[in-house]
Chain A
Amino acid sequence: MLAIVSMATFAIFFLVPRLAGATAEGMASRYVGRTATEETAKLAAERLGFNDPLIVQYGRYVKGIVAGAEYDYGAGVEQCPAPCLGYSFITRQPVFPDLMNRLPVTLSLAIGAALIWVLLGVGIGVLSALRRGTVFDRFAMIVALAGVSLPIFFTGLISLQLFAYGNPFNWAAQGGYYVTIEDSPARWAYGLLLPWITLAFLFAATYARLTRAGMLETMNEDYIRTARAKGLVERKVIVKHGLRGALTPIITIFGLDFGLLIGGAVLTETAYSLNGLGKYAIDAITNQDLPKVMGVTLLAALFVILANLIVDLLYAVVDPRVRLT
């Protein structure tokens, strides 16, 4: 686990700046401001250690995460307490508190959407499997096929059009008015409803297909026949025995999707001007604010890793045949 995390920081540290095409002076000039002369930029680069060997820089970066860091670029010293995921010289703020401010927004978005898409996707999947070949099944599966095979920017735009711009109440107008759940749960939910639906719509298709396939398989298992032979009512046969048997792949995918999502739902957050991690990342990229990009990437990576771990643990709960080693 720790090894994976450090690998992630390593990859982010070495790859992100280089992909962005940053040079030592280029980076430093951002730190000292646009009006700086080449001279001062060079000086700042030197002071901030941008000319040190990369491995030394990496050591400093990791040390910052663990113990905090100070940035001395000549015109003053900036404090960045641990965990220091970087310090933005554009906004003159450490990145980590920013991220923590944004996290509740993204979490609200992700949890609400996940709830909707799991209920919707799994529900439709189960019904489709039980009514295989009927009009309901065909229609649901065509929509789901479109949902999974069309590129996300396309379906994303369509769902935006459908749910946001095209809706009679013009709910989208409220975009950006995020109210914390502590302030008002009702307005929190109201403000997030459209983003939830949009996001859930994108994911539900995958879950419907997955559930349907899983249910078609488990409902043919011998243990379903056994459950019926006991005299169990059909509803319980379906849920307690059929769905339970089909759950494993759904949990896997869900863990991964959710892990990815709390790292930031870029498209949805941008569309609805929700100040979550996804929007933060986009803004950081637009401003070429490297420390922010690296910080948000690292956090997202952490979530994915964590989600993987939880999925692995859940496996053993869901399937008693899996032994944790």
Chain B
Amino acid sequence: MSQQSFLDVKDLRIHFPTDDGLVKSVDGLTFGLERGKTLGIVGESGSGKSVTSLGILGLHKGGRARISGEIWLDGEELVSASPEHVRGLRGKKMAMIFQDPLSAMHPYYTVGDQIIEAYRIHHDVSKSVAKKHAIDMLGRVGIPEPTRRVDSYPHEFSGGMRQRAMIAMALSCDPELLIADEPTTALDVTVQAQILDLMRDLQREFNSALIIITHDLGVVAELSDDILVMYAGKCIEYGTTEDIFYRPEHPYTWGLLGSMPRLDREPTERLLPIKGSPPSLINVPPGCAFHPRCPYAELTGGKAGTEVPPLAETEGGHLVRCHLDKAERRRLWENEIKPVLETQ
């Protein structure tokens, strides 16, 4: 298969056989991403976002997981590549920032040592050279007094500083693909904004391809070029950030927009809460996985519960997975959803 984008994920499936049954964490995901561009992957807890990103890095728990599909990174296919080859790419060609920087950093090594380690895996340099680089990186992510802080342990940093240090570590080898899995979820709101600003600045500077994973559309609103909305391991809507915010066509996306936390609203106050909870990935509801929670399921005349809707283009690369016809979706959005979301 030919490869078009810098990162090309094609029909990616990651299934985990467990005692209770097959967990289909990622079930046929396709997307592409260019250098210098940002993709937001959005979905509720358990929709398979983390597994997707770990899968790209080859970090989905090895032996037990079943992975299929294709992951093309800069002309190389990773699913069929040897684990050792993919290991060599990790950290250098592609890097990852994790959600909780406290648990993601080793408590027994200094922040500097952990960055030095990351750098020296891929660069044959002395410790002192690597340390200079670590100090330089810490300075670039906005850590004050990096020469002194390089010898601190993670627990001596604040949450925001730790996440900056995580970012410094991930960027230390100048990766071309950076995946940030909920980089701000563990931080408080003001720090969140700072970290997001930092990531945007650094991405411009390094011109890397960036994937930001989040359950909060607000996080990706300003950063992303494109947004992929995930539900139960599948993409249910894909489009530019404008598509998703101004012309969303999937009822689940509407729900996400309605439950976006905002500074001017109490967190408990949601305009259009999504009823019920995300489905189990072992017994994914038949037909449209969202139908038990969808307020418009009846409008599809029984099809929602029996037939899996295809991911179809509505226009100009905007993809939606829903049985409702295009005109109906747009009518609902314009008449019922948008007015509610704008009431303030």
CB contact between B107 and one of A225, A228, A319 (< 8 Å): that residue: A319
A229 to B166, CA, bound (A): 12
B100 interface residue (CB < 8 Å to A)? yes
The A interface is mostly helix, strand or loop, or mixed, namely helix
A window 230-255: CB within 8 A of B: 230-234, 241, 244-245
With most chain B CB atoms within 10 A of its CB, the pick from A222, A318, A319 is: A222
A256 interface residue (CB < 8 Å to B)? no
Shortest Cβ gap from B65 to chain A (Å): 14
With most chain A CB atoms within 10 A of its CB, the pick from B54, B87, B122 is: B87
A window 210-233: CB within 8 A of B: 221-223, 225-233
A225 to B170, CA, bound (A): 13
B window 153-178: CB within 8 A of A: 153, 155, 169-170
Binding site for A on B (CB under 8 A): 54, 57, 59, 87-92, 95-96, 98, 100, 103-110, 117-118, 121-122, 153, 155, 169-170
Shortest Cβ gap from A159 to chain B (Å): 35
CB contact between A225 and one of B91, B98, B110, B153 (< 8 Å): that residue: B98
A230:B169 contact, CB within 8 angstroms: yes
A320 interface residue (CB < 8 Å to B)? yes
A227 to B108, CA, bound (A): 13
CB contact between A231 and one of B87, B103, B104, B106 (< 8 Å): that residue: B87
Shortest Cβ gap from A312 to chain B (Å): 17
A92 interface residue (CB < 8 Å to B)? no
A229:B90 contact, CB within 8 angstroms: yes
Chain A's closest residue to B107 (CB) is A321
Q: Which residues does chain A contribute within 8 Å of B153, judged by CB atoms?
A: 320-321
B121:A225 contact, CB within 8 angstroms: no
B108:A229 contact, CB within 8 angstroms: no
A226:B108 contact, CB within 8 angstroms: no
Q: Which residues does chain A contribute within 8 Å of B98, judged by CB atoms?
A: 222, 225-226, 229
Q: Which residues does chain A contribute within 8 Å of B118, judged by CB atoms?
A: 230-231
CB contact between B103 and one of A223, A233, A234, A321 (< 8 Å): that residue: A223
Shortest Cβ gap from A220 to chain B (Å): 10
A245:B104 contact, CB within 8 angstroms: no
Known: A229-B59, A230-B169. A244 touches B108 (CB 8 A): yes
B105:A319 contact, CB within 8 angstroms: no
A316 to B74, CA, bound (A): 46
Chain A's closest residue to B91 (CB) is A231
Chain B's closest residue to A241 (CB) is B106
B88:A231 contact, CB within 8 angstroms: yes
Q: Which residues does chain A contribute within 8 Å of B104, judged by CB atoms?
A: 222-223, 225-226
B92:A231 contact, CB within 8 angstroms: yes
B106:A227 contact, CB within 8 angstroms: yes
A-B contact pairs, 21 of them (CB 8 A): A223-B103, A225-B104, A226-B106, A229-B57, A229-B91, A229-B170, A230-B169, A231-B89, A231-B91, A231-B92, A231-B118, A231-B121, A231-B122, A232-B117, A234-B87, A245-B106, A245-B108, A320-B108, A320-B110, A320-B155, A321-B153
With most chain B CB atoms within 10 A of its CB, the pick from A225, A229, A320 is: A229
A230:B106 contact, CB within 8 angstroms: no
With most chain A CB atoms within 10 A of its CB, the pick from B91, B100, B106, B153 is: B106
A245 to B108, CA, bound (A): 7
Known: A230-B118, A232-B117. A222 touches B103 (CB 8 A): yes
A193 to B118, CA, bound (A): 43
Known: A222-B100, A231-B89. A244 touches B122 (CB 8 A): no
Chain B's closest residue to A320 (CB) is B153
Chain A, residues 63-101, CB within 8 Å of chain B (1/0): the string is 000000000000000000000000000000000000000
B59:A228 contact, CB within 8 angstroms: yes
Shortest 10 CB-CB distances between A and B: which pairs?
A231-B91, A231-B90, A222-B103, A230-B91, A223-B106, A230-B118, A222-B104, A229-B96, A320-B153, A226-B104
Extra A-B contacts (17), CB below 8 Å, given A229-B96, A231-B118, A241-B106: A221-B103, A225-B54, A225-B59, A225-B98, A226-B98, A228-B87, A229-B59, A230-B95, A231-B90, A231-B121, A244-B108, A319-B107, A319-B108, A320-B108, A320-B110, A320-B153, A321-B153
Chain A's closest residue to B166 (CB) is A226
Chain B's closest residue to A218 (CB) is B106
B108:A230 contact, CB within 8 angstroms: no
Shortest Cβ gap from B280 to chain A (Å): 22
Q: Which residues does chain B contribute within 8 Å of A227, judged by CB atoms?
A: 106
Q: Which residues does chain B contribute within 8 Å of A231, judged by CB atoms?
A: 87-92, 118, 121-122
A244 to B106, CA, bound (A): 9
Shortest Cβ gap from B207 to chain A (Å): 21
A232 to B169, CA, bound (A): 13
A128 to B298, CA, bound (A): 54
B107:A320 contact, CB within 8 angstroms: yes
A229:B95 contact, CB within 8 angstroms: yes
A36 to B17, CA, bound (A): 84
A232 to B90, CA, bound (A): 8
Chain A's closest residue to B179 (CB) is A229
Shortest Cβ gap from B270 to chain A (Å): 30
A318 to B90, CA, bound (A): 29
Q: Which residues does chain B contribute within 8 Å of A226, judged by CB atoms?
A: 98, 104-106, 169
Shortest Cβ gap from B274 to chain A (Å): 28
Shortest Cβ gap from B61 to chain A (Å): 10
A241 to B121, CA, bound (A): 14
Q: Which residues does chain B contribute within 8 Å of A234, judged by CB atoms?
A: 87
A231 to B59, CA, bound (A): 10
Shortest Cβ gap from B294 to chain A (Å): 34
Shortest Cβ gap from A171 to chain B (Å): 42
Q: Which residues does chain A contribute within 8 Å of B170, judged by CB atoms?
A: 229
Q: Which residues does chain B contribute within 8 Å of A230, judged by CB atoms?
A: 90-91, 95, 117-118, 121, 169
Shortest Cβ gap from B120 to chain A (Å): 10
Chain A, residues 267-293, CB within 8 Å of chain B (1/0): the string is 000000000000000000000000000
Shortest Cβ gap from B210 to chain A (Å): 15
